[in-house]
Amino acid sequence: PFNLIWFRRDLRVADNPALMAAVATGQPVIAVFIHSRQEGGDFALGAASRWWLHHSLTALARDLERLSIPLLTLRGGSLPMLRRVIAALPVASVHWNRRYDPALIEVDMAVKDGLQADGVGAHSHKAHLLLEPWEIATGVGTPYRVFTPFWRKATATVRAEAPLPEPHVQAWSNDLNQVLDGAKATLPLKTLSELNLLPKLPWADGFSAIWHPGEHGAQERLTQFLSSDVQSYRQGRDYPAERITSRLSPHLAFGEISPRQILAMVHAHWNSGMGLPPDADFFVRELFWREFSYHLLFHFPKTPTENLSDEFDQFAWREPDATLLRAWHMGRTGLPIIDAGMRELWTTGYMHNRVRMLVASVLTKNLRYHWLHGARWFWDTLVDADLANNTQGWQWSAGTGADAAPYFRIFNPVTQGERFDPEGRYVRQFVPELARVPNKFVHQPWSLPATELARLGLAGTPYARPLIDLSGSRADALDAYKQRHD
Ligand code: FAD
C-alpha cells in the first residue's frame, strides 16, 4: 500500500514530522496538496497569501521531485478529495502536521473521523510550534493570558531538539509508477496554475524582487540574518528604515521553516564560538510571542472575530466612513508614517512591526473603528497573514486583547515617527511626495509655512492638512473609553 503526506501549512521537506513518519512506514509515499479555500471560513486565504502559496508550492514541488516523491494537487473539500485519492489507490495511512485556526481544527477532526471510519490510518503530528497550546498551563490549570509568565514556563518546558533531516526515499520501481499513472488518470488533478492563486491584476508584481518563497529562501533568510543583522537586533528592531528584523514571518506562516530549526540554528551559532550577542535572546523571545499567540488562539477560539476582553463588548466603535477607511487602506491619510506603513504593506505584502502598531492605533483609537476592519485588511494584504499573530496583534493594539496596550495609550504618529524614523528615511522611501521635505518637518509637513508647502507641491494635499485631526480624535477616543460601561 501507499502512504500519504498531506501538505498544508508545512511546505518544507526538512524537519517535517508528518513526511518523516510517512517515509518511515517503508512503503511508497505520495504527497497531496488540496486547495480548499472555503474551509478557512471567515478567514479564507487572502490575496497576498495566495500569491505566496503559489510560489511556495512551486518550490515544494521541485524539492519533492528531487526526493522522488510525487505530488498530487487538487482543489475542493479536504475529506472528499482525500477519499478520491484513497479510492484510486490502496492507501494505508495519511499523515499531516497540525494546524490551529479554529475552522481548520474542525476540518481536521472531521477528516480524522472520516478516514478512521474508512479503515485508513490518520496521524497528526506537531511541527508548527515549539509547544502544543495544551502542553503548558498556569499553576491553577488555566490558559495563560499574560506573556511574561507564559514565556518563563514555555522556555523552561521546551527541550532543545535536533531538527529532523530531509528523508531518504527509495526510487520507485516501474510497476509502482504504472499504478500511480493509472490512478492519476481517474483523479481531478490540477496544475498549479489551475489553482488560480495568482492575482488577476498585477498588483503583486513587486513582491518577487523582495521575497523568495520556499524552504530554500527561508534557510537563506535565516542564515543571512544570523550572520549579520542579529548583531544589532535589540537596538535596531524598532527602526523601520534599518530593515534589521529577520523577515522570516511569511516563511514561518507557511511552514517553510520550523521554529525548532530556527532555535537549533541560533544555538549552533552560539556554540560555534562566533559568539552571538545577547541580542539573539531578544529575537528568540519574539518566537515565543508567536507561541503565545497560538496558545491564545487555541484556548480562546472566538478571538479572531470577538474581543478577548469582554470589557469592550459595549464599546462605542464608530461606523467606518468609506472615504477615510479607503485613505487608511491606501496610505493617503496625510500622516506620513501611517501612509508609509500602509503603502509598504500594499507594495511589498509586509509592514514593519513598529509601524503595524502605529497604523493599528490610528485605526482603532483616532478613527475609533473596530479592530476587525484592520485585521481583515491585513489578512488580505500581508504575505505573512497568520490568524494567531494577526488576531493577537490587533487585539493587543486595540487594547481588547491579552496583556494588551491599554486603550488609553494612544500612540502619536508624529512623535513616534520622529523617534523611530528620525531622518525620515522610511517615510521618504514609501511616500516619495515627501522626498524634499526637510527632516525637521518630514513627520508633520503641515507645520511648514504655506509658501514652502506650495513650493514643495504639497499645498492642497493631505500633507498640508491631514484627514485625521490627531488631538481632537484622541480626546474623543478617551471620552468613549471612559464611557464604555455606560
Ligand atoms: P522578527 O522581529 O524577526 O521576529 C521573528 C519572528 O517572531 C517573526 O517572524 C514572528 O513569527 C515572530 N514575532 C515577532 N513579533 C511578533 C509579535 N509581536 N507577535 C507574534 N509573533 C511575533 N505577525 C505575523 O506573523 N502575521 C500577522 O498576520 C501579523 N499581524 C500583526 C498585526 C498587528 C496589528 C501587529 C501589531 C503585529 C502583527 N504581527 C503579525 C506581528 C509582527 O509584526 C510580525 O511577526 C513581524 O513584524 C514579522 O517580521 P519579522 O519576521 O522580521 O520579525
Q: What is the mean pLDDT of residues 182-211?
A: 94
User: Quick check: 270 pLDDT over 80?
Assistant: no
Nearest CA to ligand 1 atom 11: 249
Q: What is the pLDDT of residue 273?
A: 65
The Å distance, Cα 363 to ligand 1 centre, comes to 19
- Within this chain, domains 1-127 and 129-163+214-299 share the same CATH topology: no
Q: What is the pLDDT of residue 275?
A: 57
Nearest CA to ligand 1 atom 35: 393
Query: pTM for the whole thing?
Result: 0.97
How would you class 240 by CB atoms within 10 Å of its CB: exposed for 0-12, middle for 13-18, buried for 19 or more? buried
At which residue does the C-alpha cell 493509472 appear?
A: 182
Per the structure block, which three cell numbers stand in for 58? 512551486
The Å distance, Cα 180 to ligand 1 centre, comes to 41
387: left (phi over 0), alpha (psi -120 to 50) or beta: alpha
SS3 142: coil
User: Quick check: 264 pLDDT over 80?
Assistant: yes
Fold of 310-481: DNA Cyclobutane Dipyrimidine Photolyase, subunit A; domain 3 (1.10.579)
Query: Is there a contact between 477 and 363 (Cβ–Cβ < 8 Å)?
Result: no
d(CA 72, CA 113): 23
Q: What is the pLDDT of residue 410?
A: 96
The Å distance, Cα 366 to ligand 1 centre, comes to 23
Average pLDDT for the chain: 95
Domain boundaries, the chain: 1-127, 129-163+214-299, 310-481
User: Quick check: 284 pLDDT over 60?
Assistant: yes
User: Quick check: 118 pLDDT over 90?
Assistant: yes
User: Quick check: 204 pLDDT over 90?
Assistant: no
d(CA 35, CA 39): 9
The pLDDT tens digits for 341-379 are: 999 999 999 999 999 999 999 999 999 999 999 999 999
At which residue does the C-alpha cell 485613505 appear?
A: 327
Fold of 129-163+214-299: 1.25.40
To test the pocket of ligand 1, the residue of 222, 294, 389 to mutate (highest count of ligand atoms within 8 Å of its CB) is: 389
The pLDDT tens digits for 22-68 are: 999 999 999 999 999 889 999 999 999 999 999 999 999 999 999 99
- What residue numbers does the annotated binding site cover? 233, 245-249, 283, 384-386
Q: What is the pLDDT of residue 276?
A: 62
Query: Is there a contact between 52 and 254 (Cβ–Cβ < 8 Å)?
Result: yes
User: Quick check: 120 pLDDT over 90?
Assistant: yes
SS3 75: strand
- What residue numbers does the annotated binding site for FAD cover? 233, 245-249, 283, 384-386
Q: What is the pLDDT of residue 267?
A: 87
d(CA 407, CA 423): 29
Query: Is there a contact between 434 and 427 (Cβ–Cβ < 8 Å)?
Result: yes
The pLDDT tens digits for 7-20 are: 999 999 999 999 99
Q: What is the pLDDT of residue 437?
A: 98
Q: Packing angle between helix 371-381 and helix 47-66, nearest 10 degrees? A: 40
The Å distance, Cα 177 to ligand 1 centre, comes to 43
Nearest CA to ligand 1 atom 25: 249
The pLDDT tens digits for 292-344 are: 999 999 999 999 999 999 989 999 999 999 999 999 999 999 999 999 999 99
Q: What is the pLDDT of residue 274?
A: 60
Query: Is there a contact between 205 and 229 (Cβ–Cβ < 8 Å)?
Result: no
Compute the Cα dihedral for 304, 246, 131, 6 and give only its sign: positive
Compute the Cα dihedral for 418, 424, 427, 431 and give only its sign: positive
d(CA 235, CA 162): 30
Rg (Cα) of the chain, in Å, rounded? 24
User: Quick check: 383 pLDDT over 90?
Assistant: yes
The pLDDT tens digits for 219-230 are: 999 999 998 888
| Contacts for 357 with CB less than 8 Å, ≥ 6 apart | 393, 397, 405, 411
Per the structure block, which three cell numbers stand in for 115? 478516514
- Of the listed ranges 222-226, 241-245, 276-280, 401-405, the least confidently predicted one is 276-280
CA 100 to centroid of chain Cα atoms = 13
The fraction of the chain above a pLDDT of 90, given in percent, is 89
The pLDDT tens digits for 411-452 are: 999 999 999 999 999 999 999 999 999 999 999 999 999 999
CATH (one of 3.40.50.620, 3.20.20.70, 3.40.50.300, 3.40.640.10) for 1-127: 3.40.50.620
Q: What is the pLDDT of residue 160?
A: 82
The Å distance, Cα 4 to ligand 1 centre, comes to 32
